[in-house]
Amino acid sequence: MTAMLSAAAAIPRLRLVTRPAARLPSARSNWLRPLSSATHVTPPAAAAGAGSLEPPDLHRLANAARISLTLQEVEEFEPKIRQVIDLFGQLQAVDLESIEPSLRAGTATGSSLREDKPETFVNRDAIVEAIPSYDDPYIKVPRVLNKE
């Protein structure tokens, strides 16, 4: 997650983009970082054609991200998101057919696996302290019924 945030900050600012990148990283601005298409991500659309990407359905996106927007905010953000998506749309013009996707930074030399040996985290108290609503020994949350 942190990797994605820094990536967002690193997007070159074109003249069309006004403020978003400068905004403080509140929970809301998290979704300004570019997400690829709303459905699962395999290389975005040859369908959209080189040079353009479908902008996401904002209502659906906000719902998926559990962020509530006012109608005004939807109007405000829609063009800004479109601009960000268009940036990536420009990248579609590049032929990447024969290039391996760069999914992560670096390649581990040696094993990236961990031995199956237990370690008790010593500062459990600090974790518990950080829980906003703690009903010993449970984390208390509002009643939730469905995954949807």
Judged by the rule CB under 8 A, the positions of this chain that interact with other proteins are 1-4, 27, 30, 35-36, 38-42, 60, 64, 66, 68, 101, 103-105, 107-108, 111-121, 124, 127-128, 130-133, 135, 137-148
> Helix or strand or coil: residue 107?
coil
Of 63 and 90, the one with the shorter C-beta distance to other proteins is 63
Smallest gap from residue 116 Cβ to other proteins (A): 4
Of 17 and 35, the one with the shorter C-beta distance to other proteins is 35
Structure-block tokens of residue 101: 């996707």
HSE-CB of 39 using CA atoms within 13 angstroms: 5
Of 15 and 114, the one with the shorter C-beta distance to other proteins is 114
Of 72 and 107, the one with the shorter C-beta distance to other proteins is 107
Smallest gap from residue 16 Cβ to other proteins (A): 26
134 bridge partner residues: 139
**Cis peptide leading into residue 34 (ω within 30°):** no
Structure-block tokens of residue 16: 């069309």
For the chain, what's the residue count? 148
**Is-contact 106 66, C-beta < 8 A?**
no
Smallest gap from residue 126 Cβ to other proteins (A): 9
Rounded Cα distance between 28 and 31, Å, is 6
Smallest gap from residue 54 Cβ to other proteins (A): 15
Smallest gap from residue 30 Cβ to other proteins (A): 8
